[in-house]
Amino acid sequence: MQKNSTVIISDNRNSSLAKKISLDLHAEYKNTELRIFADGESKIRLDNVTKKNCIIIHSTYPPTDQHLMQLFMIVYKCKKDGASDICIVSPYLAYTRQDKVFVDGEIITINLVGEILASLGTTKLITIDIHNPNTLNYSFETIDLTAIPFLANYMKKNIKLNDPIVVSPDEGGIERAKKFAGIIKANMLSLIKTRDRLTGDISISFSEQHSLKKRDALIVDDMISTGTSIIKATEILKKNNIGDVYVICTHALLLDDAKEKLLKTGIKQIISTNSIPNEFAKVDLSSVISNYFLNQ
Would you tell me which residues interact with ligand R5P (CB under 6 A)? 97, 131, 169-170, 172-173, 221-229
The distance in angstroms from the start CA to the end CA of the chain is: 8
Active site residue 282: no
Q: How far is CA 232 from the centre of its chain?
A: 21
Cβ 216 to ligand R5P shortest distance, Å = 20
Report d(CA 142, CA 137) in Å as an integer. Answer: 8
Cβ 111 to ligand R5P shortest distance, Å = 18
Q: How far is CA 67 from the centre of its chain?
A: 15
Q: Which of 20, 30, 193, 259 is catalytic?
A: 193
Cβ 74 to ligand R5P shortest distance, Å = 26
Of 30 and 131, which CB lies nearer to ligand R5P in the complex structure?
131
Of 56 and 223, which CB lies nearer to ligand R5P in the complex structure?
223
Cβ 39 to ligand R5P shortest distance, Å = 30
- Give the bridge partners for 281, in sequence order: 272
Q: Which residues are catalytic?
A: 193
